[in-house]
Amino acid sequence: MKIRRPWTYENCEILPIDCSTRGGQPKEFYWRINFPDKSWFHTPTKRSARDYIDSQKKVVIYECGICDCYHPWDWHGDCRDDENRFFPDEIAARLGIDEDDLEIRDWDERCAADSECDWSEPAEFVERDGDRKEGHSP
């Protein structure tokens, strides 16, 4: 008898489920996918489990606080370039998905994820070749 072990994929736990008959002979086997939100789904093979999990992923985009357009979550570039400014319907069309399959996050979430935004005012400005110093107008 083949030993099947639990495994994980994309933050989901996949468990082997063997439904046996009273005589102990396997009647049916499937993989149970436990999603992080506590929902679950059954699939017959490991491959179909991975495919199903991949099909359930939403594409994450965010509204840029600089250009007021949208970018893919993991995109890093110069949004002043018109070629990198999109709206949700344009991103969905490019990816061949429904607009409902987009998860839209805001600029604060993107900055928090990057840990690059410091919203506090600097205590002092250092003068460098004509830069502004504290107490001086630009």
Tens of pLDDT, residue by residue over 82-131, are 777 889 999 888 877 888 889 899 988 888 877 655 545 444 444 444 44
How many other C-beta atoms can be found within 10 angstroms of the C-beta atom of residue 105?
16
This prediction has a pTM of 0.48
The SS3 assignment for 54 reads helix
Joined together, the tokens standing for residue 74 give 């993991």
